[in-house]
Structure 1
Amino acid sequence: MKQKPLKAVTAIEEAQKIAFAPFVFQTTVTLRDLGVLDYIFNHKNEENSITNLSEVLDVSVYGLEVLLEIAESANIVSKNEKNEFELTKTGYFLTYNQMINVNLNFTNDVCYKGLHHLKDSITNTKPEGLKEFGNWDTIYEGLSQLDKKVQKSWFEFDHFYSDGIFDMALSIVFRNHPKTLIDIGANTGKFTLQCLNYNKDVAITIYDLPGQLKVALQNISNAGYADRVTGEEIDWLSENPTIHHTANVFWMSQFLDCFSKEEILKILKVAGKAMTKDSELIIVETFTDRQKFKNAQFSLQATSLYFTALANGNSRMYDASVFIQLIEKAGLTVTKDHTLGDYHTLLICKLK
C-alpha cells in the first residue's frame, strides 16, 4: 500500500532528526552513563530539577541543561507541572531494555568511529573503518585483540541475537540422536557447550580462526569437556579451505552472513564435500525478509552497514530467498524450514 506523502513541514522535521541524529545518540549514551536517566526514573516522586540533579549526581548545571534540553526535544525525558524531569517510555527503554542497551553499546563502542569511513568502504569494497581498531583485513582476525570494552560490546551484541534460540534449536539438532557434530564458526564455544550439556555422548569438532578457536577450546576445557571436543583452524578466505572430518550434523549459526554471496557459495560447497548422504547441514540466520516487526528489519539493515564499514566490506544481512538459491547452487537442498522465536530461521539442508 502506497503511503501518503508527508507534508513539507513534517518532512523537514524528519530530515532535521536525521541531520542531528548523532547528537541525540551521544546525548543518550552520556545521560545513561552519567546515571541521569536511572536517577530520574528511580526518584520520580522526588525533586528532579536541574539544580537538584546537579547536586546529587555531581554533574554541572550547564552540562545537564544542554543534555536534558535535547533529550526533551527527542522525547527521552519530559517535564511535569513542577518543571521537573520525568522519563518517557522511550527514555525508559533506552535505560532499562537489554536489547536496546546491547544495540547502543555495539553502535557506540564498535561501530561509531568506523562508520565515518562508510563512503570509502562502499567505494573500495573494503572495511575502511576497521583502521580505527587495527591493521587487519577483517574484524574477525583481530577480534581477540580488540580493546576489552570494544570486545565486550561486540560479544554481547553477537550473543544476544544468537544465544536465545539455542534451547529451541537443540531439540531439532538432536532429534535423530547424532553422535558427531561440527560447529563451524564456534566463536566462544557457547553452542558447543550447550550441546555437550544436552547430550552426554556427542563428540564435537569446532572450526574457526586461530584466535577464536583458542578462546573456545579454553572455555570448553574449563567446563570439563575437553575429552569430547577437538578443534581445527580454518581461514575461509584462503584459496582452498577444507573440512577434514565428516559428521552427522554440521552447524552454522549466524555465520554465513559474515561473508559475501560468492564466499557463502564456496563455504557451502566445502561443507557439501565433507557431508555424507545422511549428514545434515543446519543453518540459523536472521533474514531481513522474515521479520514480524518493522524495527527488527530496520536493525538488521543497520547491521549490514557494520559489515560494510568494519567487518569485511562485502557481506550483509540477507533475504532468505538469497540463501536458498545459494544452497541449491551448492548442490544442497533445504528439507526443513523452521521459525525460531520472533527473529530467527533454521534451515535443515542435505545433499541433493
Structure 2
Amino acid sequence: MLDKKFSPERQTAFAARFEAQKIAFGPVVFQCVRYAWKRGMLQALADTGHSGLSVAEMAASGRWTEYALKVALESCLSAGVVSLRDGAYVLDKVGFCMLTDSITQVNLDFMHDVCYQGLFDLDRSLDAEQPLGLAALGEWPTLYQGLSALSEPAKGSWFAFDHHYSDTSFPEIFPDVFATAPRRIMDIGANTGKFASAALAYHAGVELHLVDLERQLAVADQTLTDAGVRERAHLHACDLLDDAAPLPAGMDLIWMSQFLSCFSEPAIASILRRVAQALGPNGQVLIMDTFWDRQQYDIAAYCLINTSPYFTAMASGNSKIYQSTDYIRLAQAAGLELLTTRDGIGYCHSLLRFGRAGAHSD
C-alpha cells in the first residue's frame, strides 16, 4: 500500500484556512470555470497567446456580456485558471489543462452532467445507503438499470468517463488474460461488450461468456454482432445482487473489470463466492480495478477517492472505490488466494490474479 499525503507536512494556520475556503466555495468555482470553458472564453484567451484580452475587448466580440465575463473570469482568476496582467486576462497553466487535458475534461463533464445535481442529496444517501440523488436522472433502483436509458448529456458523459479510464488498459492486459491459455472465459459485468469483442478478436480459439443485466446484454449483443464475433459469445442475463443466482460453471478464467466497485462489501463477498464455485479445476480470476491505495501519484488517488460519492448518491448507495486490501480480504473469505499483482496499467488500474486456495501450491 502506498502512503498518501494530500497536504504539506507543515502548513500554517492561515494557509489551512485558505484551503478550507476553497472547499467551501468549490461548487461556485466549478461552475464558473466550466462556464468559461464551455462558452469559449478560455479558448479565446488561448488564441491570443501571452498578450491576453481585456474584458472590454472580449465583450466587443458580442459573444459575451461584460457582466458574464467579469463574474466567470474573476472566479477563474481565483482558481489559477487565468492570470490578470495590466488589465488583460491571460490563460494560465490550469486553464491550459482545461483546454487540452482529456482526463480533466472527461472528469468535469462527468461531474456536471451525471453527478452534480444528485450530489445535493449525498447526506441523505449516506445516511440511508441508497442512491437518493439518482432521482435527478431518472426513476431506477440503481443507475445500472437505467444506463442505456439515460438522456443526454448524462449518457454520453457517463460512457465517456467509463471508457476513457478502461479503454487505455485493454491493449496492455491481453497477455495477462491469455497467460494460462484459457479456452472458456467469463466476463462478469460485460457492459457494452467492448472487452469481450476485443478478446475474441485477439484470440480466435476462445469463447466468451458475458454476464450482465438483460438490458446491458442487449447493447453487448449488438457490439459483438458489429464486430463479427457473435458466434463465439454466450450471453447470460443475471442480476448479481440476487444471492441465489448461479454463474455458468467450468470456467478457465473469470474476468471482472471496474465491476466489483459497483457493489457493497456484502454483495462483493457473495459474488466472489459464486465466482470461486464457477471456476474449472485450474481456473483463475482476474480482477482489474482502480484502487486508490495502489496509485503512484496523489493526483490519481485524489480523483479516485472523490469518485466514491458518485457511487453513493447516484449509482448504488453502498459501493465505492475500494482499497486493494478490501478485495484481497473478501476474496480470501470466498476461498481464493492472491497469486500476483500488477500495477500501472493504463491510467490508474491494477490487476489482481487469484486462484482457488491451495490449488496452485507445489
Match of 2:311 among 299, 307, 311: 307
Whole-angstrom distance in 2 between the partners of 1:75 and 1:160 = 26
Could you tell me whether the CA contact under 8 Å between 1:308 and 1:316 is conserved in 2? yes
Matched, 1:192 2:161: no
Give the AA of the match of 1:68. Answer: L
User: What's 2:360 paired with?
Assistant: none
Any idea what SS the aligned residue of 1:48 has?
coil
Matched, 1:43 2:48: yes
Q: Per-residue displacement from partner, 1:310-351 (whole Å, max 9, x unpaired)?
A: 111111111111111111100111112112435221111111
User: What's 1:255 paired with?
Assistant: 259
Could you tell me whether the CA contact under 8 Å between 1:36 and 1:57 is conserved in 2? no
Any idea what SS the aligned residue of 2:353 has?
strand
Any idea what SS the aligned residue of 1:324 has?
helix
User: What's 1:69 paired with?
Assistant: 74
Aligned runs of 1:88-103 on 2, under 5 Å? 88-103=92-107
Any idea what SS the aligned residue of 2:174 has?
helix
User: What's 2:136 paired with?
Assistant: 132
Q: CA deviation at 1:143?
A: 0.8
Any idea what SS the aligned residue of 2:321 has?
coil
Could you tell me whether the CA contact under 8 Å between 2:189 and 2:256 is conserved in 1? yes
Whole-angstrom distance in 2 between the partners of 1:63 and 1:336 = 54
Q: CA deviation at 1:6?
A: 3.6
Any idea what SS the aligned residue of 1:335 has?
strand
Match of 1:79 among 69, 79, 84: 84
Whole-angstrom distance in 1 between the partners of 2:249 and 2:83 = 60
Whole-angstrom distance in 1 between the partners of 2:344 and 2:246 = 30
Could you tell me whether the CA contact under 8 Å between 2:98 and 2:104 is conserved in 1? yes
Matched, 1:29 2:34: yes
Aligned runs of 1:177-256 on 2, under 5 Å? 177-256=181-260
Matched, 1:164 2:168: yes
Any idea what SS the aligned residue of 1:276 has?
strand
Matched, 1:58 2:63: yes
Could you tell me whether the CA contact under 8 Å between 1:35 and 1:57 is conserved in 2? no
Give the AA of the match of 2:119. Answer: L
Matched, 1:343 2:330: no
Give the AA of the match of 1:34. Answer: R
Q: Per-residue displacement from partner, 1:123-164 (whole Å, max 9, x unpaired)?
A: 111111011112211110111111131011111111111111
Could you tell me whether the CA contact under 8 Å between 1:179 and 1:248 is conserved in 2? yes
Question: Unaligned 5+ residue runs, structure 2?
Answer: 358-362
Question: Unaligned 5+ residue runs, structure 1?
Answer: none
Could you tell me whether the CA contact under 8 Å between 1:114 and 1:309 is conserved in 2? yes
Whole-angstrom distance in 2 between the partners of 1:66 and 1:299 = 27
Any idea what SS the aligned residue of 1:336 has?
strand
C-alpha RMSD over aligned residues = 1.7
Deviates more, 1:333-342 or 1:202-211: 333-342
Whole-angstrom distance in 2 between the partners of 1:166 and 1:310 = 26
Could you tell me whether the CA contact under 8 Å between 2:294 and 2:343 is conserved in 1? no
TM-score (norm 1): 0.95
Any idea what SS the aligned residue of 1:317 has?
coil
Whole-angstrom distance in 2 between the partners of 1:267 and 1:216 = 21
Could you tell me whether the CA contact under 8 Å between 2:132 and 2:314 is conserved in 1? yes
Whole-angstrom distance in 1 between the partners of 2:20 and 2:286 = 43
TM-score (norm 2): 0.93
Give the AA of the match of 1:80. Answer: R
Deviates more, 1:338-347 or 1:33-42: 338-347
Deviates more, 1:245-254 or 1:20-29: 245-254
- Quickly say closer, same or farther: Cα 1:153–1:288, change in 2 above 3 A: same
Match of 1:296 among 276, 284, 300: 300
Identity across the alignment (%): 36
Could you tell me whether the CA contact under 8 Å between 1:181 and 1:251 is conserved in 2? yes
Could you tell me whether the CA contact under 8 Å between 2:201 and 2:229 is conserved in 1? no
Could you tell me whether the CA contact under 8 Å between 1:333 and 1:351 is conserved in 2? yes
Whole-angstrom distance in 1 between the partners of 2:79 and 2:114 = 24
Which runs of at least 4 in structure 1 moved beyond 4 Å after TM superposition?
1-5
Q: CA deviation at 1:4?
A: 5.0
User: What's 1:322 paired with?
Assistant: 326
Any idea what SS the aligned residue of 1:148 has?
coil
Whole-angstrom distance in 1 between the partners of 2:283 and 2:344 = 22
Q: CA deviation at 1:54?
A: 2.0
Whole-angstrom distance in 2 between the partners of 1:32 and 1:200 = 45
